[in-house]
Protein backbone atom coordinates (compact mmCIF):
# COMPACT_ATOMS: atom_id res chain seq x y z
CA UNK A 1 0.00 0.00 0.00
CA UNK A 2 1.36 3.41 -1.00
CA UNK A 3 0.78 6.28 1.40
CA UNK A 4 0.86 9.97 0.66
CA UNK A 5 3.47 11.87 2.66
CA UNK A 6 2.13 13.20 5.93
CA UNK A 7 1.48 16.92 6.09
CA UNK A 8 3.48 18.87 8.63
CA UNK A 9 1.67 19.31 11.94
CA UNK A 10 1.29 23.10 11.54
CA UNK A 11 -0.65 22.60 8.29
CA UNK A 12 -2.99 20.07 9.86
CA UNK A 13 -3.99 22.44 12.67
CA UNK A 14 -5.37 25.14 10.41
CA UNK A 15 -8.29 24.89 7.97
CA UNK A 16 -7.50 24.57 4.27
CA UNK A 17 -7.37 27.97 2.55
CA UNK A 18 -9.43 28.40 -0.61
CA UNK A 19 -9.69 31.00 -3.36
CA UNK A 20 -11.65 34.03 -2.18
CA UNK A 21 -11.50 33.08 1.48
CA UNK A 22 -10.94 35.96 3.89
CA UNK A 23 -7.94 35.65 6.20
CA UNK A 24 -6.83 37.45 9.33
CA UNK A 25 -3.82 39.79 9.51
CA UNK A 26 -2.03 37.09 11.55
CA UNK A 27 -2.62 34.50 8.81
CA UNK A 28 -1.40 37.01 6.22
CA UNK A 29 1.86 37.37 8.14
CA UNK A 30 2.30 33.60 8.45
CA UNK A 31 1.61 32.66 4.82
CA UNK A 32 4.21 32.70 2.05
CA UNK A 33 3.81 34.52 -1.26
CA UNK A 34 2.92 31.23 -2.94
CA UNK A 35 0.22 30.46 -0.39
CA UNK A 36 -1.24 33.96 -0.63
CA UNK A 37 -1.26 33.79 -4.41
CA UNK A 38 -3.49 30.69 -4.23
CA UNK A 39 -6.14 32.75 -2.41
CA UNK A 40 -6.45 35.09 -5.41
CA UNK A 41 -8.71 33.99 -8.33
CA UNK A 42 -6.67 32.61 -11.25
CA UNK A 43 -7.73 35.46 -13.52
CA UNK A 44 -6.02 37.97 -11.22
CA UNK A 45 -2.98 36.05 -9.90
CA UNK A 46 -0.60 37.59 -12.41
CA UNK A 47 -1.18 40.98 -10.74
CA UNK A 48 -0.25 39.81 -7.24
CA UNK A 49 2.99 41.71 -6.52
CA UNK A 50 4.07 39.65 -3.54
CA UNK A 51 3.45 39.99 0.15
CA UNK A 52 5.97 42.81 0.67
CA UNK A 53 4.14 45.06 -1.81
CA UNK A 54 0.71 44.59 -0.19
CA UNK A 55 -0.25 47.54 1.99
CA UNK A 56 -2.73 46.49 4.68
CA UNK A 57 -3.32 43.11 3.02
CA UNK A 58 -4.41 44.66 -0.31
CA UNK A 59 -3.03 45.07 -3.81
CA UNK A 60 -4.12 46.90 -6.96
CA UNK A 61 -5.00 45.21 -10.23
CA UNK A 62 -4.29 46.67 -13.69
CA UNK A 63 -7.70 48.36 -13.85
CA UNK A 64 -7.38 50.11 -10.49
CA UNK A 65 -9.57 47.74 -8.49
CA UNK A 66 -8.27 46.57 -5.13
CA UNK A 67 -8.11 42.95 -3.91
CA UNK A 68 -8.19 42.50 -0.13
CA UNK A 69 -6.98 39.31 1.53
CA UNK A 70 -8.78 40.36 4.73
CA UNK A 71 -12.11 40.61 2.89
CA UNK A 72 -11.45 37.73 0.50
CA UNK A 73 -12.51 39.83 -2.48
CA UNK A 74 -12.59 43.24 -4.06
CA UNK A 75 -12.98 46.23 -1.77
CA UNK A 76 -15.71 47.74 -3.95
CA UNK A 77 -17.97 44.68 -3.76
Give the pLDDT confidence of 4-61 residue by residue, as tens digits.
Answer: 555 555 455 667 889 999 999 999 999 999 999 999 999 999 999 999 999 899 999 9
Q: What is the pLDDT of residue 7?
A: 53
Residue 5's pLDDT is 59
pLDDT score of 15: 72
Whether 22 and 28 have beta carbons less than 8 Å apart is answered as no
Q: In the chain, which ranges are E strands?
A: 58-60, 66-68, 73-74
Edge-first strand order for the sheet with 66-68 is 58-60, 66-68, 73-74
The pLDDT of residue 33 is: 95
Indicate whether this model's pTM tops 0.85: no
Residue 69's nearest CA partner among 7, 20, 5 is: 20
Amino acid sequence: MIRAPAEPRFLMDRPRLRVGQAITPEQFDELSDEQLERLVPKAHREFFPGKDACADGCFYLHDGTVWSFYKGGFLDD
